[in-house]
Amino acid sequence: MTSRAEKLDEFRGHPGFEFIKQDVSNEVAVDGVVTHVLHLASPASPLDFPDYPIQIVKVGTVGTYHMLGLALAKNARFLLASTSEVYGDPLVHPQPESYWGNVNPIGPRGCYDESKRGAEAFAMAYHRARGVDTRIVRIFNTYGPGMRADDGRVVPNFIGQALRGEPLTVYGDGSQTRSLCYIDDLVEGLLAVLEGGDDLPINLGNPVETTMLELAALVVRLTGSRSQVEFQPLPTDDPKKRCPDISRARELLGWEPKVTLEAGLARTVDYFRAALAR
């Protein structure tokens, strides 16, 4: 719903690739042997929340139920892409997997936050009651080439605005932090969890915090832009701090991010510069 078919073009024709278009919020059927089920479906940008709240709730709950049913039927290992948003606006910092969170279930972000919390409950229920081999990954802010220019999250927002010479929109006073993980590191982490994790949640993200003002300055420098910062009111329930405790990932998997923020942003700027020129 929020992706583009052409993103699959490089895989079409590969002997190990087959694309089946289905909606996981409806029952999913796949013929033949299935060894692994990775449930990564869901709009994830705050811009999507007011437009698709029902679809987001359904894909996190009913969609997870259907994908777990597929894993159960095929005796496959199941991986759930959960989110750092299960911690809400955290009162514990950094956030370990043992933290239960501070979430507003009826706020504008509740459709996403609570659907992912429900998805985790579904995964644990199928693990405990049906013996499904499950993995839960709590993904923190991730960025990189391939993101939508109108995604609405901070990295594509800042880069697009800087490349167009527009003011960079900073919400609040810009002191809020995010911990930004480059996509290559995140994919390596997902595969490590799939092969070597356990049934309990694992944080994947970059433990290095960056304020929004620091990020804006870095994007302006990397793009060579003359854009200034424009301040806007802080959105409702927007987390003030976001930083993963990745001790479990380090100890259990030997995983931690390798790509620095500057290196990852430089690659992402190159992607958006080419995309906007088309």
Residues tagged active-site: 112
| Alpha-carbon gap, residue 74 to 63, rounded angstroms | 17
DSSP 8-state secondary structure symbol assigned to residue 167: P
| Alpha-carbon gap, residue 128 to 122, rounded angstroms | 10
Residue 79 CA: distances (Å) to CA of 28, 40, 109, 236, 259: 16, 8, 23, 31, 24
Kindly compute the dihedral angle of the four CA atoms of residues 175, 216, 157, 188, in this order, to the nearest 10 degrees. Answer: -90
| Alpha-carbon gap, residue 25 to 50, rounded angstroms | 19
DSSP 8-state secondary structure symbol assigned to residue 107: S
SS3 content of the chain, % helix, strand, coil (to 5): 40, 15, 45
Burial of 143 (0-12, 13-18, 19+ CB in 10 A): buried
